[in-house]
Structure 1
Amino acid sequence: MKIFSYLLLLSLLTFSFKPSFSQLIVGTVATPEELAGSLVGSGVTITNVTLNCPNGGWGSFDGTNSNIGIDSGIILACGSINNAVGPNFSGGITTAFGTTGDQDLTDLAGQETHDACVLEFDLAASSDSINFSYVFASDEYTEYVNSINDIFAFFISGPGITGEQNIALVPGTTDPVAINTVNCLNGSLYYICNDPLNSQCDATYNCPTDASLTTIEYDGFTTVLTAVANVQPCQTYHLKLAIADASDEILDSGVFIKASSLSTAASSVTVSTPYNDPITNLPAVVEGCFSATVEVQTCNPSTDSVALHYTISGTATNGTDYNQIADSIFIPPGLSSANLIIDPLVDGVSESSETVTLYFYSTSPSNPYDSVTILILDSLIAIASPDTVICVGQSASLTVNDA
């Protein structure tokens, strides 16, 4: 009895003083539309959502108390998303759904794929690029570097893009993000070791020394990366987010995508003038001759007036060198665009060229999403001399003086 009581007390004490940890939380999402919709941020609209993924392979996550680097978002996996939850007490974990792969991923991997999880939708962006943030993680780290790799990709297609383009790339390269391209030997700047049983990475990678120090189960994952694509404003594109087991169904991988990060600028901004300065390559206007038109455009008309804000900079003085303009432009209800006129004023002062720059922003003036610069030239007066007759091959001088 004493021995039993001692062992029971020791067990309780051991439990009481067990190191505490926070971890990743995963959850279910009601519909594919809700799953895709949670990714949408400013300036982007989506339609035609489809999901081809085994039950249990998709859902939401809360990474606030983990080291995944993203507070919340969605997870797509080629195994159960529950396997992503830490701590990392397992040397490797697998859920084999026994489902098919994806042909695009098979073509990219160069080997048969299985247990594919694919989220697709159409999108339109109000500006000329889109971006979103993600983390790729896998239990194939690091034992299977330069061997069998699970595969994932973000394929985009549409106007101006030939075929499908994978935008899940190692920063500054054209290499797809994968176990072979991001690890403690290659692309190591973007790799985080999460393997307490590490036998591949040296001490500089700070692999956890104890499983209780980990917050997710996967043995390794990337830093937060950004997928970027150039698009044509207001045109329809197709985005395909896909992950699958490659070669076999052993060991799981997942991709975490940040909520509300699929975004672009609030509007597209263009400027038109009759003349481009050949030296600066800037759109130019001339005092007393012609003005510039700055057009701001969104994709869809709003039922309310839309205010787009900007700060004014440059060497020209607002209200003196050009017409007085405010710090905002309003798109009327029912319309998707509005124009701002920059009209240079004749001041009768001989001076060098000046500029006016508008920085458009959504929430903070210190973080503009677009800008335009217009060059203002002095008015020109041509002094016509008497008629001059020249022969073929000869030249004549034409003098132009500023006002």
Structure 2
Amino acid sequence: MFRCSTIGFLFLSSLSCLAQISVDTSYTEESLVREVFVGEKTKLNAIHYQGSYQSIGLFETEHLEFPLAKGIILSTGKAKHAIGPNRTPNRSTAFYKDGDDQLDKLSGRTTHDAAVLEFTFAPAHNTLAFEYIFASEEYPEYVGKGFNDVFAFILTDLTTREEQNLAVVPGTSLTVHIDNINALKNAAWFIANANRRDSPWHDLLEYDGMTRLLTARARVVPGRYYRIKLAIADVDDGMLDSSVILKEKSFRSFDQPVLAKDTASIVQPSIVFFDWDSSELTEEAQAQLHTFAEQVLRYTPRGIRVIGHTDALGADDYNEQLARKRVQAVVDYLATLGLQGKVSLYRQSKGENEPVASNAEESGRAQNRRVEVNVEY
């Protein structure tokens, strides 16, 4: 009896370790927006959701290293299907509900099963930002096929009626979808999740691919009312689910100096790459950091986090030290560009533990030999 109980306990414990994500679809849109998403006292009105109530919920994970611990999940299928491990390459749910006209226009095709969360707000400061992750079962098979699930964060100025989509690839005007962030394009922002060898989240999350934590950001006028539309939908058919996860309390406003020449300028994260077994900055990396430093000096960020990575070749201890050397090379160079004493620099090394591409091929290893430089506000 004791042996059976012990085995049962170990079995349940292993299941508990795998099931480190929970999704609760019982929350109202009011509570999700007011209590989960918005991170400061903000005037909120007209909170509205359209779509299946199985497609919106509270996302939580106990995994300490996952990019976000809690937030709102919006899905083209059942939100609870986000829960891993990833055993199904083509998880799909069709609700046969309507799409969305703006998403039709954005994708150039007919959308279905739209999940749309909207609310109006009046920011207290001149810059709006929030963090999110996009994940999809369409990775990797449908990359480059000419159609894909679509999502957008459409910000509307209710005074001027001007609209802009905030879901764009950092440093570009490209909308975020599987064709614009994948293993070959903007790969530094991509995490493969289809193969257990290549992903730290295979046992955690169902989807075959995901973005890293991205930031949506826009200039706003303090006190003026805006509407934000957070929307995702299937394109052409109801097959292959996609989701966007909005980080808890990340919806906020803060002040940045307004430049006379370009009031929309913001400091974008930077990723620099290294040659194999090297911590020397290439000319390209130096030019990239020079541009980054010029942007930082125009603003007053809270700090800069510099995170080093390597590919999987070599011993773990060696790669940890190599990642540290790469971080130090970046920090030292930023110091020469005038940031020393003006912005706090935080160092972190991950070694080979957080690949963004497969280490089985050189093209993937080249993407993993990187240092990420992120601005914190």
Aligned to 1:152: 151
Aligned to 2:275: none
Aligned residue among 221, 224, 233 for 1:235: 224
Label 1:58 to 1:269 Cα distance change in 2 as closer, same or farther (>3 A).
same
Aligned residue among 118, 121, 126 for 1:120: 118
Distance 2:188 2:94 in 1: 31
**Correspondence 1:248 to 2:246:** no
The Cα offsets for residues 168-189 of structure 1, whole Å up to 9 and x where unpaired, read as: 1100000011100001111111
Aligned residue among 22, 31, 34 for 1:34: 31
Is residue 77–residue 254 contact of structure 1 (8 Å, CA) maintained in 2?
yes
Kindly report the root-mean-square deviation, in angstroms, between the aligned alpha carbons of the 2 structures. 3.0
Distance 2:218 2:159 in 1: 11
Distance 1:188 1:64 in 2: 27
Is residue 127–residue 218 contact of structure 2 (8 Å, CA) maintained in 1?
yes
Distance 2:42 2:176 in 1: 25
Distance 2:160 2:65 in 1: 35
**Correspondence 1:83 to 2:81:** yes
Aligned to 2:61: 63
Aligned length: 255
**Correspondence 1:225 to 2:214:** yes
Which ranges of structure 2 fall in alignment gaps of 5 or more residues? 259-341, 343-374
Distance 2:214 2:58 in 1: 18
Is residue 19–residue 83 contact of structure 2 (8 Å, CA) maintained in 1?
no
Q: What aligned pairs does 1:325-364 form with structure 2 within 5 A after superposition?
A: none
Aligned to 1:74: 72
Of Structure 1 and Structure 2, the greater helix share is in 2
Is residue 37–residue 247 contact of structure 2 (8 Å, CA) maintained in 1?
yes
| 1:32 Cα deviation after fit | 1.5
Q: Secondary structure at the match of 1:97?
A: coil
Q: Percent identity?
A: 37
Is residue 93–residue 241 contact of structure 2 (8 Å, CA) maintained in 1?
yes
Label 1:100 to 1:188 Cα distance change in 2 as closer, same or farther (>3 A).
same
Is residue 122–residue 222 contact of structure 2 (8 Å, CA) maintained in 1?
yes
Distance 1:16 1:36 in 2: 34
| 1:14 Cα deviation after fit | 10
Label 1:66 to 1:195 Cα distance change in 2 as closer, same or farther (>3 A).
farther
| 1:46 Cα deviation after fit | 1.5
Is residue 128–residue 268 contact of structure 1 (8 Å, CA) maintained in 2?
yes
Distance 2:61 2:10 in 1: 28
Is residue 25–residue 79 contact of structure 2 (8 Å, CA) maintained in 1?
no
Letter paired with 1:194: N
| 1:196 Cα deviation after fit | 2.0
Is residue 37–residue 71 contact of structure 2 (8 Å, CA) maintained in 1?
yes
Aligned to 2:135: 137
**Correspondence 1:178 to 2:167:** no
Is residue 24–residue 66 contact of structure 1 (8 Å, CA) maintained in 2?
no
Q: What aligned pairs does 1:314-393 form with structure 2 within 5 A after superposition?
A: none
Aligned to 1:193: 192
Q: What aligned pairs does 1:244-323 form with structure 2 within 5 A after superposition?
A: 244-265=233-254
Is residue 167–residue 228 contact of structure 1 (8 Å, CA) maintained in 2?
yes
| 1:64 Cα deviation after fit | 3.0
| 1:261 Cα deviation after fit | 0.7
Distance 1:88 1:193 in 2: 12
| 1:82 Cα deviation after fit | 1.1
| 1:160 Cα deviation after fit | 7.6
Aligned to 1:107: 105
Distance 1:133 1:81 in 2: 19
Letter paired with 2:79: I
Aligned residue among 20, 24, 28 for 2:21: 24
The Cα offsets for residues 292-349 of structure 1, whole Å up to 9 and x where unpaired, read as: xxxxxxxxxxxxxxxxxxxxxxxxxxxxxxxxxxxxxxxxxxxxxxxxxxxxxxxxxx
Q: Secondary structure at the match of 2:37?
A: coil
| 1:94 Cα deviation after fit | 0.6
Aligned residue among 71, 91, 94 for 2:92: 94
Is residue 60–residue 72 contact of structure 1 (8 Å, CA) maintained in 2?
yes
Label 1:22 to 1:230 Cα distance change in 2 as closer, same or farther (>3 A).
same
Distance 1:66 1:152 in 2: 27
The Cα offsets for residues 260-289 of structure 1, whole Å up to 9 and x where unpaired, read as: 111012x7999xxxxxxxxxxxxxxxxxxx
Is residue 114–residue 246 contact of structure 1 (8 Å, CA) maintained in 2?
yes
The more displaced of 225-234 and 154-163 is: 154-163
Structure 1 runs (4+) deviating above 4 angstroms are: 11-20, 159-162, 267-270
Letter paired with 2:126: D
Using structure 2 for the length normalisation, give the TM-score.
0.62
Letter paired with 2:111: T
Distance 1:17 1:123 in 2: 44
Letter paired with 1:258: K
Is residue 66–residue 216 contact of structure 1 (8 Å, CA) maintained in 2?
no
Is residue 189–residue 212 contact of structure 2 (8 Å, CA) maintained in 1?
yes
Distance 1:121 1:145 in 2: 32
Distance 1:170 1:135 in 2: 12
Which ranges of structure 1 fall in alignment gaps of 5 or more residues? 1-7, 198-202, 271-358, 360-366, 370-403
Distance 1:17 1:128 in 2: 48
Is residue 100–residue 113 contact of structure 1 (8 Å, CA) maintained in 2?
yes
